[in-house]
Chain A
Amino acid sequence: MTMSWTGKIGWGLVIALLAIALLAPHVAPHDIREQDLRVRLQPPSRAHPMGRDEFGRDVLSRLLYGARVSLRVGLTVVAICAGVGTIIGALAGYYGGWTDRIISGFLFNTLLAFPGILLALAMIAFLGPSVGNLILALSIIGWVSYARLIRGQVLKVKELDFVHAARAMGASDARILLRHILPNVVQPLIVQATLGVAGAVLAEASLSFLGLGVQEPMPSWGKMLDSGRAYLTTAPHLVIFPGLAIAVTVLAFNFAGDGLNEWLNPQRPRSIPARARKGG
């Protein structure tokens, strides 16, 4: 079965975004720190296709560098969450009993008792804003959904015949988990991770918008949108372009994740969009 056309568009955009993020210093037409107050808030022109911001800096170049920040945060958060979530979820699902009761009954419920973005906001408010703290806060709220997914999958797979057979042959717990169970639960993990990047990018932009994420002079889409709001009437391009960049990135990862899901599991219905789970 081939991937749906939305899935293909999604992956195409994801690859393009990754290329932009990697090559930002080479493809950005202007220096992102170059200020010129005489031409501040200049609307889009041939030399500056997305106009200039309140300091006269080139918006397109800053947007390209912003992709670097968004994707770096998004991918790092997802990597940490997927890693931690897989380990904890697998332990809860495999051992069951008290381990499971403490992890899924208590830890999951407590972390899910906060609206996700609020807990991240709280931690950054107390730890102080920085990219490191942003990644830490988003990882602390994010790993639970991966752990829940893996726990559910492990619960299903551990009762299958080949696992019983491995145990009967004297395989250790670690070997059963690593060699027999985990390879069978990787597919949904990859799908969730792809959708998760959309959620993490959105969360990073939200916190940067509130002034609690990426700090100057590093450009971030959320922060660009926030500072652009003050010039809504005179320079709407300062809000429109970062808004579009966020929307396209979120759509791209949602399309990519859904496409992958349908491609890997043709029988399964579409997943819930990342936004619904993240609660941003």
Chain B
Amino acid sequence: MKEIMGILLRRLVLVIPVVWAVVTLVFLLLHLVPGDPVLAFLGETATPEQVAEMRHRFGLDRPLLEQYVTYWMHVVRGDLGVTFVDRRPVAEKILSRYPATLQLAVAALLVAVTIAIPLGVTAARHQGGVRDAAASLLALLGIALPNFALGPLLILLFSVKLGWLPPSGFGEPAHLVLPAVTLGTALAAILTRLVRTSVLEELRQDYVKTARAKGLDERIVLYRHVLRNGLIPVVTIVGLQFGVLLGGAIITERIFNWPGIGTLTIEAIAARDYPLVQGCLLVIALTYIVVNTATDFLYRVLDPRIKVE
């Protein structure tokens, strides 16, 4: 237990500078806008008084260092400021959209794992055979076909031609199917290759020979022994890729008009609502850091062979 606390503490210490850098980077992004963010938002027809009033209201007329300190103090309290467009709290807007993105990402993860494990195991069991080649080909297609090409093609097939699933919408389980498959396919492809390699590696181990020599059923050898060990690296990649899914969700959400944080980000960019863009980026990046840290921590706890750096 003491050791586990030690691992957790060390992970947390490593995360602090990264979180600091991410918050600083997101703060500085606003000052990257060529010219003035307020002017960019209001447009060229704005009067100097309007610009000055808005700059004052958002604290943009203060010295940079003061703005930075204020930003930090607000972020720590969970206050991400108010939007340019309707002056409502950024955090409130993000919170209302966040669950939809999480739902999509979790569903995509389930799709990926459900496809990848049986496919990867089958490919490894029949190494060099037709099934192995077919699984490899499917995995390659999944990697090569980007989600913004796959999504419309799935809509074309399952909504337009067959009429089985809705092309967009939110709320019903049927609405989730196409977006989850679109977002999960690339991960399924990566995981299939990983499961295959991992299972092949385990199949060569001595304990597998022992289990087979004992006369155990091949399925028990595979699912009780091989898969249990072979899935450890897969768990890590799943964790690390969960954050990537959150990034990829931006595109998938746009294709299916999914009301998540990705759509919110794109809407905010289009409206030049910079505080809202900053808030979205910060929340996605922090989620990514939390999931990565948790995965890394779990990995080290689950597999004592891995030394803590």
B275: min CB distance to chain A, Å: 12
Q: A109-B18, A127-B33 are in contact. Are A202 and B146 (CB under 8 A)?
A: yes
Q: Do B281 and A118 touch across chains, with their CB atoms under 8 A apart?
A: yes
Chain A contacts to B: CB under 8 angstroms: 106, 109-110, 113-118, 121-123, 125-128, 202, 205-206, 209-212, 222, 225-226, 228-229, 232-233, 236, 239-240, 242-243, 246-248, 250-251, 254, 269-270, 272-273, 275-276, 279-280
**Pairs A–B under 8 Å by Cβ, sample size 10:** A110-B22, A117-B247, A117-B250, A128-B33, A225-B152, A239-B149, A239-B153, A247-B141, A270-B193, A279-B247
Residues of A within 8 A of B156 (CB): 232-233, 236, 239
Top 4 nearest A-B pairs (CB, nearest first) are A115-B247, A243-B149, A110-B21, A279-B244
- B193 to chain A: which residues have CB within 8 Å? 270, 273
Interface class of chain A by DSSP: helix
- B255 / chain A contacts, CB cutoff of 8 Å: 229
Given the interface pairs A113-B289, A222-B148, A251-B140, the reply to whether A269 lies near B197 with Cβ below 8 Å is yes
Q: Is A125 touching B244 in the complex (CB atoms < 8 A)?
A: no
Q: Kindly supply a per-residue 1/0 record for chain B positions 178-204, scoring 1 wherever the CB is within 8 Å of any chain A CB and 0 otherwise.
A: 000000001001100100010000000
Residues of B near any A CB (own CB < 8 A): 14, 17-18, 21-22, 25-26, 29-30, 32-34, 140-141, 143-146, 148-150, 152-153, 155-156, 160, 186, 189-190, 193, 197, 241, 243-244, 246-248, 250-251, 254-255, 265-266, 269-270, 274, 277, 281, 284-285, 288-289, 292
Known: A110-B21, A126-B30, A275-B190. 8 other contacts (CB 8 A): A115-B246, A115-B284, A118-B284, A122-B277, A125-B29, A205-B146, A206-B146, A239-B156
Which residue of the partner chain, among A126, A209, A279, contacts B32 with CB atoms under 8 Å? Answer: A126
Bound: A270/B193 CA distance, A? 10
Asked if A239 meets B246 with Cβ closer than 8 Å, knowing A122-B277, A209-B251, A250-B144, the reply is no
The distance from the CB of A35 to the nearest CB of chain B, in whole angstroms, is 23
Q: Is the CB of A114 within 8 A of B285?
A: yes
Q: Which residues of B contact A248 (CB under 8 A)?
A: 144
Decide if B149 touches A242 in the complex (CB within 8 Å).
yes
Q: Residue of B at shortest CB range from A249? A: B144
CB within 8 Å for A113 and B285 given contacts A106-B21, A126-B30, A212-B269: yes
A236 to B292 CA separation, bound complex (whole angstroms): 39
* Chain A residues in 8 Å Cβ range of B160: 232-233
In angstroms, Cα B21 to Cα A126, docked, is 18
The residue of chain A having its C-beta at the shortest distance from the C-beta of B141 within the complex is: A247
Distance in Å: Cβ of B135 to nearest Cβ of chain A: 14
Chain B residues whose C-beta falls within 8 Å of the C-beta of A106 in the assembled complex: 17-18, 21
The residue on B at minimum CB distance from A198 is B144
Interface contact B274-A126, CB-CB below 8 Å: yes
- Cβ contact within 8 Å between A123 and B149: no
Q: Are A116 and B277 in contact (CB under 8 A)?
A: no
Residues of A within 8 A of B266 (CB): 210
User: With the chains together, A122 CA to B278 CA distance in Å?
Assistant: 8
Indicate whether A125 sits within 8 Å of B143 (C-beta atoms), given known contacts A117-B248, A239-B152: no
Which one, B17, B32, B254, contacts A127 given CB within 8 A? B32
Query: In the complex, what residue of chain B is closest to A209 when comparing beta carbons?
Result: B148
| A110-B18, A122-B29, A239-B153 as given contacts; A247 in contact with B289, CB under 8 Å | no
With A113-B22, A222-B148 known to touch, is A125 a contact of B269 (CB < 8 Å)? yes
Given contacts A118-B250, A126-B277, contact A206 B148 (CB under 8 A): yes
- Cα distance, A49 to B18, chains bound together (Å): 51
